[in-house]
Amino acid sequence: MLFMVEMTVNIPHDMPAEVAADIKAREKQYSQDLQRAGKWPHIWRVVGQYRNVSIFDVQDNEELHNLLSGLPLFPYMDIQVTALCRHPSAI
């Protein structure tokens, strides 16, 4: 199943810089592992924001939920999920 996932990151301003840097490093590794595994085939940055639009290719809602909740930045994210299906006019 394909899902469009919009993630906005809201790291607290009072979080120590070294803590934020550690979380971001773990986030990068986790997301790149999912990309290599084919679960996260597309990710785009939204210009001027700490936000991305991504496409996930997973078995079902539960797998998506588990992958998203495993993101190290998950506690600091606002996430919107949209299920996708192939458009009949697509070639």
pLDDT tens-digit readout, 29-82: 999 999 999 999 999 999 999 999 999 999 999 999 999 999 999 999 999 999
The reply to whether 42 falls in a domain is no
CA pair distance 33, 86, nearest whole angstrom: 26
How many domains would you assign to the chain? 1
- CA 33 vs CA 22, 28, 37, 60, 85: distances in Å: 17, 9, 6, 19, 25
- Domain enclosing residue 23, as ranges: 15-36+59-78
Tens digits of residue pLDDT in 3-26? 999 999 999 999 999 999 999 999
CA atoms within a 13 Å half-sphere pointing along the CA-CB vector of 88? 0
Does residue 10 lie within any of the structural domains?
no
